A and B are shown apart, each in its own frame.
Chain A
Amino acid sequence: MKQFQYVQPATQQAVLEVINKPGTKIIAGGTNLVDLMKRGVTAPDKLVDINHLPLKHITSTPKGLYIGALALNSVVSENKLVAEKQPLLAMALKSGASPQLRNMASVGGNMMQRTRCGYFYDTAMPCNKRVPGSGCGAYEGVNRMHAIFGASSQCIAVHPSDMCVALAALDAVVIIAGKKGEHRVPFTEFHRLPGDHPETDNNLPFGELIVGVEIPNNNLQKNSYYLKVRDRQSYAFALVSVAAALDIENGIIQNARLAMGGVAHKPWRLFDAEKLLIGKKASEESFQQAAQLAMQGAKAYGHNSFKLKLAPASITEALKHAAGLV
């Protein structure tokens, strides 16, 4: 890989001073970045190590649950507060990557990880995300893992995270620090669709830093489930995943949260399907209706046509699990 400078600024403020220049990359767990550097996909001049910053805490706040950006995926997945307040997040985290990777990967890094599209990683292949204007290798290529929602002719890659699917479903908020202070972005608006600029994965302003996420309190603990359908039972990206959480009273759905992974350039929240479920009986029939509605606008590209069948089946299956019907 290209030789690079490695710095470890002492404070968050000092980090913000450094990352404001082109050619810098923040490194936390490095589970994705180092691969990208080895493959020549990215070649930063300077790596800014932030692992020592005090951003690892997981605390209960009046508004909800606060998780620092540097909290490790493994720590979050086994944290008592998380298990108690947001079990869906714990379940999603545990289905991601492998124990070894979760022990290195941070929450902020998980959000910043890049697509696993094979064309993106191979510098001999065209990829608009890697080299804008070079074309999308997957569009007419091998696209079994690719998007069925929100894609563009420029890019049909998917975001690979499981954690993010749960956070999108749970109305989390991303807390971002810049030189002018902190600001908050709804999780569902953090990642973006490819459009004409697939090189940009998310709306994190240049030179700013994710410091944490906050998940508002809810009544979804009892009936939540993260279903991940994949080619092997661990260390595999989702063909389709579903984060489902329900608030059920006397068999009637009071509140619902649904999001999908493995289907779009960002965690794919299913707002319309949620609305449909509210007031309905927690039954397979309701779940199938929601799943059908969720599939509106879906489009496949050849190898991933099976997702048009797998996705609704998975939504129904996840909701059945969440409702305790399995």
Chain B
Amino acid sequence: MEKAININRPSSADGMSRIDGRLKVTGAAKYSAEYAVEGLTYGVLVGSAIAKGSIAAFDIKTAERAPGVLFVVTYLNAPKVPGFQPDQKGVRAQLKVFNDDKIFYNGQPIALVIADTYERALYGASLVKATYNKEEHQTNLTENFGKGYPPRGDGLYKRGTEDAWKSAPIKLEQEYMVPTNTHNPMELHAIIARWDADDKITVWDKTQGVKATQHDISQLFNIPLENVQVNSRFVGGAFGSALRTWPHEIVAILGAKAVKKPVKLVLSRADMFTSVGYRPHTWQKIGIGATADGKLTGITHQAYGQTSPYENFTEGAVNVSQSLYACPNVNTKYNLVALNVGTPTWMRGPGEATGAFALESALDELSYVLSIDPVELRLRNYAETDPENGKPFSSKYLKEAYQLGADHIGWNDRKQQPGTVKKDGWFVGYGIGCGMFGAYRSGATVKATMKADGTLHLQSAVSDIGPGTGTAMVLIAAEQMGMPADKISFENGASDLPQAPTQGGSATTASVGSAVHQACVELKDKIQKLTGNSGTDNPDYAQILKQHDLPLLEVTAKSTGGEGRDKYSMNSWSVHFVKVLVNGSTGVVKIDKVASVADCGTIISPKTARSQIVGGAIGGIGMALMEEAVIDHRYGRYINNNYADYHVPVNADIPQIDALFVNKPDPILNPMGAKGMAEIALVGMAAAVANAVYNATGKRVRELPITPDKVIA
């Protein structure tokens, strides 16, 4: 099994297809908005048209009289949210939606129109008029650095000498910009909220964590945890946007209370830009210094990221500079700037992706100053132990990854001198970018039931937002139990199932997978006690249950996780190699070839693992070449809040992407030897593209996205 895996066109030889693939492609998979709840009504949000101030008055009379409209909810008539009241403790900072007249950002929900059909609610929403007391707003990050503040402590990190890069023989300092990126999963965020009693509620809700959503609703509405049922059986992509409870979920629950009927609220695509977070616009500056032979002597990495006026959102933008390379002197500074925007949230690869764009671009720039091959420069600064804390890595096979990727992309064809290779009138260039992300594991519980017919049923509350979690869990159980995967089922995405962490931070397989592993171990123990022998390779479980006259056998196993973190630094690693073609006249960049290599431990499910890597690479291409949510700062309002104008890559933008895996087990993190891969699939990719564009043309673009206008500028 410890053989490197390279999949470009998956086939049956690459293992099982995803267990819910058929359900998804036939439309049988039911998403949150698709439940035919009896007596359903439909809600549409009205957003604020100003970015700061307060609501002076509402005119909702016309809307109320419109055909089919049942109720117009505003802060003036909304049921109170107990968790928003001043005496509440333990409720996180958040937008207190429909609680008062305050406006913090343009597009903030100010009313919910509920009608008997969606179309009538939509029309009703267009008739809601508000007048405002307008105040001066700020949405421009680069004009507001003066208002920056550290999110906690002094926001500073220092190892060795501060600003050591300044006294290095070879040095450079540059600024890098990552604009606001929106997650924009295909599935719009949606919730159906139904009050079953005054203190009992059921929601069908798009969420990456049904248990977290259950907890939030319980706290906010002051109802017992067990009286909150959250269902999220299928999630059509999220990338982080469903990692927390958002205002629209609270609004739908309030609406259902107001009309005493179930309310369905599906966000519009425009709402998706203002309601469910985004990757925050972040400015960075890196100073980097090295000896003439390419040994790093100092890195200084500063970042200013935007957040909302009512909540701090922090992420690891500067963290990669602390750990990716062996460098004795590193200091970082991270500041937030509160603007009149909604709160950002984690978006795939979160801060690490933002930080890696800056660091991996700076390293590339340094390689040209030094005239050292970028791969070689990385090897000369390879960290054998974590430079941040001196701990050994639980596993790190990044050198192997470099080799696999360089061989695969044809790195030897790269010329160090930019702008020297042309093919059919297009400049050709190669780039590299590396990624890292902490390998985490948290506690999880799994119930495993062996039925009389010899089939195994696994249950966990965990969401499956698309990576193939269920598929991986089935494969882990199949291997442990020595039984065929098609006799194993996996049930998930409901809050009355056993405890699981929110799906995020690339930690699901390590966390829930360990619980599946543990459940199988305990189940085998039980069976062994029945049979009195240590079992065979392919036990006939149906026969064993029959012999002992058992209708079923079940265990509920808990995996704690997190051991070893005191002794080891645990991370997943990636390296992306990109070959681009650039038109020198029009500035158009075409990705010609991608080889993304991941060191994420043992590969449990090769096909879905490949999908993860390919999806991450595509996300990285979007981040590099086209994604940018644009605000007109005069109004503080997005102007490209739709799929036509906010560009994500389409098939025509995507070449063959090869996913390669080092596939060596991590001996520490969990019994399967697996580490996470969702984040590292994207972290470093944008820099790889930018670096390839530079190699092709000699044009260094430090402000994403790399659109044609910037290439010909």
Q: Using CB atoms and an 8 Å cutoff, list the residues of chain A in contact with chain B.
A: 1-3, 38, 40, 98, 116, 118-119, 121-125, 137, 140-142, 144, 227, 229-237, 239, 306, 309-310, 313-314, 316-317, 326
Partner of B647, one of A38, A125, A144, A231: A231
Partner of B650, one of A119, A144, A232: A232
User: How far is A317 from B651 in the complex, measured between Cα atoms in Å?
Assistant: 25
B-side contacts of A125, CB under 8 Å? 632, 635, 637, 639
Q: Using CB atoms and an 8 Å cutoff, list the residues of chain B in contact with chain A.
A: 49, 67, 119-120, 122-123, 126, 424-425, 583, 585-588, 590, 625-626, 630, 632, 634-635, 637, 639-640, 642, 644-645, 647, 649-653, 705, 707-709, 712-713
Nearest A residue to B588 via CB reads A229
Q: What is the distance, in angstroms, from A291's C-beta to the closest C-beta of chain B?
A: 11
A-side contacts of B649, CB under 8 Å? 232
Q: What is the distance, in angstroms, from A208's C-beta to the closest C-beta of chain B?
A: 29
> How many A-B pairs with Cβ below 8 Å?
95
Could you tell me if A314 and B585 are in contact, using CB atoms closer than 8 angstroms?
A: yes
Could you tell me if A233 and B632 are in contact, using CB atoms closer than 8 angstroms?
A: no
Partner of B707, one of A119, A231, A313: A231
Could you tell me if A316 and B585 are in contact, using CB atoms closer than 8 angstroms?
A: yes
User: How far is A144 from B713 in the complex, measured between Cα atoms in Å?
Assistant: 14
Could you tell me if B652 and A233 are in contact, using CB atoms closer than 8 angstroms?
A: yes
Nearest A residue to B649 via CB reads A232
Return 25 A-B CB contacts under 8 Å, by A number: A1-B123, A3-B120, A98-B650, A118-B640, A119-B639, A121-B642, A125-B637, A137-B632, A227-B586, A229-B587, A229-B588, A229-B708, A230-B588, A231-B625, A232-B650, A233-B653, A235-B650, A236-B644, A236-B647, A306-B708, A306-B713, A310-B586, A310-B708, A317-B585, A317-B586
Could you tell me if B586 and A314 are in contact, using CB atoms closer than 8 angstroms?
A: yes
Q: What is the interface of chain B mostly: helix, strand, loop, or mixed? A: loop
User: How far is A142 from B588 in the complex, measured between Cα atoms in Å?
Assistant: 21
Q: Which 10 A-B pairs have the closest CB atoms?
A: A233-B652, A306-B709, A118-B639, A234-B652, A124-B49, A313-B585, A229-B586, A40-B126, A317-B585, A234-B650
A-side contacts of B639, CB under 8 Å? 118-119, 122, 125, 141-142
User: How far is A301 from B647 in the complex, measured between Cα atoms in Å?
Assistant: 23
Could you tell me if B712 and A142 are in contact, using CB atoms closer than 8 angstroms?
A: no
B-side contacts of A227, CB under 8 Å? 586
Could you tell me if A310 and B709 are in contact, using CB atoms closer than 8 angstroms?
A: yes
Partner of A142, one of B122, B630, B650: B630
Query: Which of B119, B645, B709 has the most CB atoms of chain A within a 10 A radius of its CB?
Result: B709
User: How far is A233 from B649 in the complex, measured between Cα atoms in Å?
Assistant: 8
Q: What is the interface of chain A mostly: helix, strand, loop, or mixed? A: loop
B-side contacts of A234, CB under 8 Å? 650-653
B-side contacts of A306, CB under 8 Å? 708-709, 712-713
A-side contacts of B651, CB under 8 Å? 234
Partner of B708, one of A119, A122, A239, A316: A239
Could you tell me if B652 and A142 are in contact, using CB atoms closer than 8 angstroms?
A: no
Q: What is the distance, in angstroms, from B88's C-beta to the closest C-beta of chain A?
A: 33
B-side contacts of A313, CB under 8 Å? 585-586, 712
User: How far is A233 from B587 in the complex, measured between Cα atoms in Å?
Assistant: 13
Query: Which of B122, B425, B708 has the most CB atoms of chain A within a 10 A radius of its CB?
Result: B708
Q: What is the distance, in angstroms, from B277's C-beta to the closest C-beta of chain A?
A: 21
User: How far is A116 from B634 in the complex, measured between Cα atoms in Å?
Assistant: 20
User: How far is A229 from B626 in the complex, measured between Cα atoms in Å?
Assistant: 13
Could you tell me if B637 and A122 are in contact, using CB atoms closer than 8 angstroms?
A: yes
User: How far is A227 from B586 in the complex, measured between Cα atoms in Å?
Assistant: 10
Could you tell me if B644 and A3 are in contact, using CB atoms closer than 8 angstroms?
A: no
Partner of A232, one of B425, B583, B626, B637: B626
Q: What is the distance, in angstroms, from B537's C-beta to the closest C-beta of chain A?
A: 51
Q: Contacts A232-B650, A234-B652 hold; do A309 and B712 have CB atoms under 8 A apart?
A: yes
User: How far is A201 from B583 in the complex, measured between Cα atoms in Å?
Assistant: 34
Nearest A residue to B583 via CB reads A317
Q: What is the distance, in angstroms, from A239's C-beta to the closest C-beta of chain B?
A: 6
Nearest B residue to A160 via CB reads B644
New contact pairs (6) apart from A2-B123, A306-B708, A310-B586, CB-CB < 8 Å:
A3-B67, A122-B637, A123-B126, A230-B588, A231-B647, A233-B652
